[in-house]
Structure 1
Amino acid sequence: MSLNKLLKATLSAAALFAVAGTAAHAEEWKFAHEESPGDVQDLYAQEFKRLVEEKTDGDVNVTIYTYGQLGTENDITELTAAGAVQFSNASPGHLGTFVPEIQVFGVPYLLSQDNEVNKKVLSSSPTIYEGLSKDFESKGLKLYTMYPEGEMVWTTKKPVEEPADFDGVKFRVMTSPILIETYKSFGSDPVALPWGEVYSGLQTSVI
């Protein structure tokens, strides 16, 4: 088994909504997420939009904003907390700057390779919805749900097959202290970058 297979991690995402500033009779809702059109978070948002508009007979219109339209990952979470955006989707790695405890979902081996197990844990764990929810509410956010996003993939110029292959490799990571320390423990040189700066980072050898 290659190291790439052994160390693969399961990604997760959290759906949030504003505690204040969202009225039940609102006709226009904004839903922002951190991925591109057609990606997992966008598919989730599109289904949310479909269901809301269907169940309200069109009285509520949901506008979806994909990555970069309203700023970075942190920007859309701040906009949600302020009530300027009603709903948002974000990865725990980014949410760690708001609620540090959520970073635990970035720890390798924490989640199962069985996606059905992950769905059950992330959607119904009392630890998440009775514990972490209170931490989010203190920041003006409500944790609506969490769900698996698939597996983490590394993109490198050279194969990563054993621990020594990590040495000195500049991996882009989310702005999460746990992720940064994890990659340092692998022997690599982690660089925290917003997703929108990844391509320029590759071109300029920042990563």
Structure 2
Amino acid sequence: MLNFLKHGRVAGAMLGAALLAGAASATELRYAHVGAEGDIQTVYAAQAAEGIAAATGGEVTVTVYPASQLGGVAEMVDGVRMGSISMGHHDFASLARLVPEVAVFNAPFIYRDGAHALAATDPQSSPALQAINEKLIAQGVRIVGRIYRGDRHISSNFPVKTPADLAGKPFRAVPLELWVSMVKGFGAIPTPVEVAELPTALMTGVVVGQENPLTRIASNNLNEVQSHLSMTGHMRAVLAVFINEEVWQGLSEEQRTALTKVLDEEAQKSLKMATESEADLVKELKGRGMTVITEAEGLDVAAFREKVGAQIGQDFPNFAPLIEQIEAVK
């Protein structure tokens, strides 16, 4: 099994508290996410927690609550906004209820590669993200980092090579407007399903397919309920790491700098992990019995790009100038 699968087992534990003898004076951050054990995002959170404790000499400690322990996506976002949860991470679009335009950072087919995706979502240097972050801060939430999870691909119970193959079929959509729009572009019927309920929904036929990074497909054993994998790469999966603004303001300047530096270092590690693991994961999922479909086997990625782009343009016309800014990032 890949190394990052091993590291994921430390998620959820208190990390680094022993670094501070006077633990009573430490600031403890409650960090929630919905990722399962073994997923890159779970590794990221665990290692970030350890790094933050070390970088602050134990002045700031982090307890990670993975796998929806503190609720689903909506509950997590609301918790961070209200301060009952200090930090969290999820797709940028999960914050769209606060600032609709933030969803643009999850839009399909907008990043050239993983490095471009991280550069365009850097809260320290991306003009588009900085402008949107100001609006989020007014809502009590600040983006302070990001995670690269790899490309998202389609899995299904039958071969999928073009949008026509999904026409009229119930397909899992992340319960966010951007994903609903994208799945419409796939040609399917968007059917919202929370991630914790996804394996059951696929097994029972509530939905016949879904899309996720290979890490999620492997760590959730979706190969047990899906027979085919279509390598569409329709999204460069980047997650936003966000913090309650009052919590952020309660940290010293030195602590903020240390936290930001750790999160950026972990972002770069996540890109490296995702890049190196994709070929191994394809091989692993083939070994588990999945049929992998690439352009060599007739997958028409251009058709997906055209259909999805048209649907996103129709549903989110205000994305156009932001997409131009993102595309201009070097």
Q: How many residues align?
A: 181
Aligned AA (2:81): A
Deviation at 1:139, TM superposition (A): 1.8
Query: Secondary structure in 2 aligned to 1:152?
Result: strand
Distance (Å, rounded) in 2 between the aligned partners of 1:203 and 1:38: 22
TM-score by length of 2: 0.52
**What are the within-5 Å matches in structure 2 for residues 111-122 of structure 1?**
111-112=111-112, 114-122=113-121
Distance (Å, rounded) in 1 between the aligned partners of 2:99 and 2:72: 17
Deviation at 1:191, TM superposition (A): 0.8
2:133: which partner in 1?
Answer: 133
Aligned AA (1:172): R
Q: Which of 1 and 2 has greater Rg?
A: 2
Distance (Å, rounded) in 1 between the aligned partners of 2:38 and 2:195: 16
Deviation at 1:28, TM superposition (A): 1.7
Task: Write out per-residue CA displacement over residues 168-198 of structure 1, whole angstroms, 9 at most, x where no aligned residue.
Answer: 2221111222221222133111111211111
Aligned AA (2:84): A
Percent identity, aligned pairs only, is 27
Task: Write out per-residue CA displacement over residues 135-157 of structure 1, whole angstroms, 9 at most, x where no aligned residue.
Answer: 21122101112343211121101
Higher percent of residues as helix: 2
Distance (Å, rounded) in 2 between the aligned partners of 1:59 and 1:134: 27
Distance (Å, rounded) in 1 between the aligned partners of 2:178 and 2:110: 13
Distance (Å, rounded) in 2 between the aligned partners of 1:79 and 1:127: 25
Aligned AA (1:83): G
Deviation at 1:33, TM superposition (A): 1.3
Contact 2:32–2:88 (CA under 8 A) maintained in structure 1:
yes
Query: Secondary structure in 2 aligned to 1:151?
Result: strand
Distance (Å, rounded) in 1 between the aligned partners of 2:96 and 2:27: 31
Contact 2:173–2:180 (CA under 8 A) maintained in structure 1:
yes
The CA RMSD measured in Å over matched residues stands at 1.7
**What are the within-5 Å matches in structure 2 for residues 17-36 of structure 1?**
26-36=26-36
Aligned AA (1:162): T
Distance (Å, rounded) in 1 between the aligned partners of 2:154 and 2:121: 24
Contact 1:94–1:174 (CA under 8 A) maintained in structure 2:
no
Contact 2:26–2:60 (CA under 8 A) maintained in structure 1:
yes
1:15: which partner in 2?
Answer: none
1:51 to 1:39, Cα distance in 2 relative to 1, 3 A: same
Distance (Å, rounded) in 2 between the aligned partners of 1:62 and 1:173: 31
Task: Write out per-residue CA displacement over residues 38-73 of structure 1, whole angstroms, 9 at most, x where no aligned residue.
Answer: 312222212221121112322332110002200001
Distance (Å, rounded) in 1 between the aligned partners of 2:132 and 2:196: 28
Aligned AA (1:87): M
Which structure 1 residue ranges, 4+ long, deviate > 3 Å from structure 2? none
2:75: which partner in 1?
Answer: 75
1:87: which partner in 2?
Answer: 87
Distance (Å, rounded) in 2 between the aligned partners of 1:108 and 1:28: 36
Contact 1:122–1:147 (CA under 8 A) maintained in structure 2:
no
**What are the within-5 Å matches in structure 2 for residues 190-201 of structure 1?**
190-201=190-201
Contact 2:26–2:58 (CA under 8 A) maintained in structure 1:
no
Aligned AA (2:146): M
Aligned AA (1:119): L
TM-score by length of 1: 0.80
Query: Secondary structure in 2 aligned to 1:90?
Result: strand
Deviation at 1:26, TM superposition (A): 4.7
Contact 2:96–2:102 (CA under 8 A) maintained in structure 1:
yes
Distance (Å, rounded) in 2 between the aligned partners of 1:94 and 1:197: 18
* Structure 1: stretches of 5+ with no match in the other structure: 1-24
Distance (Å, rounded) in 2 between the aligned partners of 1:27 and 1:67: 23
Distance (Å, rounded) in 2 between the aligned partners of 1:94 and 1:155: 22
Task: Write out per-residue CA displacement over residues 62-88 of structure 1, whole angstroms, 9 at most, x where no aligned residue.
Answer: 110002200001111111111111111
* Structure 2: stretches of 5+ with no match in the other structure: 1-24, 208-330
Deviation at 1:110, TM superposition (A): 0.8
1:6: which partner in 2?
Answer: none
Query: Secondary structure in 2 aligned to 1:38?
Result: coil
